[in-house]
Amino acid sequence: MVRPFGINLEKAGHLLYMMHDEADMRTTLAIDDDVLIAAKAMATQQHRSVGEVISELARRSLRRPPSSRERNGIPLLSARPDAPPVTLEIVNALRDELQ
């Protein structure tokens, strides 16, 4: 379990947040101010430590398989082999249903 060590140092526009775990090992991370503010807000809402929130978010990001295919910077979704192709007519019909 990672808990805040209680030292915040301002350096080069980043907040250095020192943390320690149960074995008293310490890690210093350079975290952008906006990220730390968001993580602190999440920690407060979830009644958890900032370290726990950041660790969970990092784990989620690391588990997510990287998209192997992109088009114009957008990740492409894989289709089932038996799925019919998506046509312009299908897209237009769905759009019309939503209007």
Domain boundaries, the chain: 29-63
- 15 Cβ contact list (under 8 Å, min separation 6): 8, 9, 31, 33, 36
Estimate the crossing angle of helix 50-63 against helix 33-46, to 10 degrees.
Answer: 110
pLDDT value of position 1:
45
Which parts of the chain have pLDDT scores under 70? 1-25, 64-67
pLDDT value of position 4:
46
pLDDT value of position 44:
95
> pTM value?
0.45
pLDDT value of position 93:
94
- 16 Cβ contact list (under 8 Å, min separation 6): 8, 9, 10, 28, 29, 30, 31
